[in-house]
Structure 1
Amino acid sequence: MTDSVSAFRFGRIAAVLPVADMARPCDFHIGALGFRKAFENGSPVGFMILKRDSAELHLTLQPGHEAVPFNVAHMMVEDIDAVHAVIRERGLRIVKGLRDKDYGLRAFVFEDHDGNRIDVGEPLKA
């Protein structure tokens, strides 16, 4: 590592999810997953920051959003089975089912209401 690279540090980095409207993602992330609204901007709201525990999620209003066929965010959680159950109860599409992976995670991938693919993982217990 060069001296110039070691001279700086990173702060928070957060996933930004494009959404077609703010109502559905707010209902899901706040109502189902327990996030809280930490910031919003615009009238109507075009940008929002949601927080829960150490996690931060940014929503940006993109009415013409077209989902991409790959994961756009990765969430590490505790009690992945409970998170999986909430996703199923909400009727969201499970892209990759809940499984223990050879790289040390129990994981699954789902699509939110806007088609954003989110990978959810929890370290396997030794």
Structure 2
Amino acid sequence: MSSADIPGFRFGRIAATLPVADMARAEAFYAGVLGFRKVFENGEPVGFMILKRDAAELHLTLQKDRAAAPFNIAHMMVEDVDALHALCRAHGLRIVKGLRDQDYGLRAFVFEDPDGNRIDVGQQL
């Protein structure tokens, strides 16, 4: 069955939800370091937050007792991958896969956020 065979609906945006152990630390990283802005939060203490920057949207969910996944949980496309790589290094983030041109047409790297979430970052070559 192809998508042409499924009638009646279209997909809109889809956003990654990242589990975090400390919401304030996650907000400080995504807003303070990467420049996202908070557009929504819910709970007291805050257990869910939506952050936006440009066309990107991230959802953060408080999961205090979870272990980080050993695989990439989000893929982020950017316009200056070298600048983001330098920013991650400057803030002491773990670089899981180094910055390099890939045979699939992206210049890419993978980093871990302060909660250990692996984010794959790419830029079209």
TM-score tier by shorter-chain length is over 0.9
CA RMSD of aligned residues (A): 1.2
Q: Does 1:52 align with 2:84?
A: no
Distance in 2, Cα, partners of 1:112 & 1:106: 19
TM-score (ref. length: structure 2): 0.95
TM-score (ref. length: structure 1): 0.94
- Secondary structure at the residue paired with 1:28? helix
1:85 is aligned to 86
Distance in 2, Cα, partners of 1:92 & 1:61: 20
Please tell me the residue identity of whatever aligns with 1:11. G
2:17 is aligned to 16
5+ residue gaps, structure 1, are none
The count of residues paired between Structure 1 and Structure 2 equals 124
CA distances 1:20-57 after superposition (whole Å, capped 9, x unpaired): 01111111110111100010000000000000000000
| Percentage of identical aligned residues | 73
2:7 is aligned to 6
Please tell me the residue identity of whatever aligns with 2:95. I
Distance in 2, Cα, partners of 1:49 & 1:110: 21
- Secondary structure at the residue paired with 1:30? helix
2:102 is aligned to 101
Correspondence 1:19-34 to 2 at 5 A: 19-34=20-35
5+ residue gaps, structure 2, are none
